Amino acid sequence: MTLRRHAEKTRKWAEAYGKENGFDRDLCGMCAIAAAHLFCSLKRDGYSPILVNANEEHIFVHVGHFLIDVTATQFGRYKKVEIRRHKQVKQFFWTHDLKFMNSVAVLKKIQKKADWPMEQRVATVAVAMLDGRI
């Protein structure tokens, strides 16, 4: 499956999850949950994704030379699925104070340390489902 197809499937999943759990239609507050979903989907399919935390406020995925963000709509007029080459990216929410993570478990620790709102955190059960353990 292509990167775009993985991202589109994750966006569709995130929209349904967001609607069911009271998130805004632009998926504001869903970045970590959606990025974790995309990360696990890509990893299962043989890609080598990396989770990225920008400015301790936004999470998205890097794969190779590409940034993939399925919740950029929360920042205004962006597509539901943004896939861009790193060299083309200048927006603050994709470039400032980056921290790279190679697992969802590390993301969970970062969210806890930074005291992210509970509804925005990657839940243990969700992680187990994404990792294929449930």
∠ CA 12-73-19, rounded to 5°: 45
State both tokens at 45.
């399919």
- What are 66's strand-pairing partners? 63, 85
Alpha-carbon span 80 to 9, nearest angstrom = 11
Q: What is the pLDDT of residues 34-86, one digit of tens each?
A: 999 999 999 999 999 999 988 778 999 999 999 999 999 999 889 999 999 98
Alpha-carbon span 46 to 97, nearest angstrom = 28
The confidence band for 90, taking pLDDT boundaries of 50, 70 and 90, is: confident
**Cα dist. 11→5, 6, 55, 81 in Å?**
10, 9, 22, 7
